Amino acid sequence: MNNIKKLISKPLFLPIFCMLLVMAVNIIYDVASGNFAFNFFTISIRNGVLYGRMIDILNRGSEIAILAIGMTLVVSCSAGTDISVGSVMSLAASFCCMLLAGYGVSSTNELARPLIIGVLGGILIGCVCGAFNGFLVSYLNVQPMVATLILFSAARAIGLLLCNNMIVYVREDSFKIFGGYLGFIPTPIVVAAVCIIITSLILKKTALGLYVQSVGINKKASRIAGIKSERIIFLCYIVCGLCAGIAGIVASSRISSADSNNIGLNFELDAILAVALGGNSLGGGKFRLTGSIIGAYTIQAITTTLYALGVSTEQAPVYKAVIVIIIVAIQAPPFKDYMKKMSAKRQLAKGGVA
């Protein structure tokens, strides 16, 4: 019994348990459909590239994993969420494609500017959006959800203006690389892996991770200790905008276009859910980036499983919202206190019987 309690109390228990649960559902579904029980884990090479359900989840979940990096830092330092990341993704994609195609051009097979200019432009606009959100939250003390609500509403509209209210198609092959394949490996997986590795190294090899957690636990105490709390929060929102910009480039490269109305749609919900599912408290403080990444790919696995079970794309967000409610309720202090009291009562009852 004590071993079970120790296992449950592990920080990564929740995300790993949820991932295993999704895998179990897929195994049961395959068996019920008369297919090979472990189809979910089968990986092969078809037409020179990796193929399989696991590869598809890693590929399609890359944008959420990238967003989860920035969202984790934002939640940890400010005890709030950035609900604008999906819209910022759309804006970054629109700005990138507008630069590559030229203003007012709806479709092009040749780049108007070098590819690097468009990519850096999209990433830069993401950083600018992050800086805007960070300034409101850190220096003006605006509630994170209220501050990011501005770009949540406006970023897509700005993207449409940049694209002259059109879907801009960039059909040049070099642009497709970010959403295509690097050899036989899907490029989005490589991009997500690079982002995760760089962020992990920075957080572990520098004091930034400690500063972020310190500010999230107690902003005033951190300021007294000499940590510039406002600057740390501002930096975290810039990183979140940077991640949204990168995710936007990958998303637009997949479809070789900038569809302002659909790129990043509802991705903010997935990013927040990934952080919560990763065992991180939405109240800020300590965070586990590994948990958020596992949570991100679990979300994609859930989405893929829902579609396989016949759930429509319109209904899927409802199920995800229910999962968010359950996770937030489990992490709520009253629920934790209740579980501790029940555990203490059971121990007293066992002691009385003995």
Residue 10 inside a domain? The answer is no
CA–CA separation, 211 and 287 (whole Å) = 12
Q: Is residue 196 in a domain? A: yes
How many domains, in total, are found in the chain?
1
Q: Decide if 343 is inside a domain.
A: no
Segment 186-243, tens digit of pLDDT: 999 999 999 999 999 999 999 999 999 999 998 888 888 889 999 999 999 999 999 9
* CATH classification at residue 232: 1.10.3470
322 within some domain: yes
48 in a structural domain: no
25 domain residue, yes or no = no
Q: Report pLDDT for 330.
A: 72
User: Which domain range does residue 109 map to?
Assistant: 58-337
pLDDT over threshold 70, residue 352:
no
In a domain, 148, yes or no: yes
Q: What is the pTM of this model?
A: 0.90
4 located within any domain: no
C-beta of residue 210 within 8 angstroms of C-beta of residue 225: no
Q: What is the pLDDT of residues 47-100, one digit of tens each?
A: 889 998 899 999 999 999 999 999 999 999 999 999 999 999 999 999 999 999
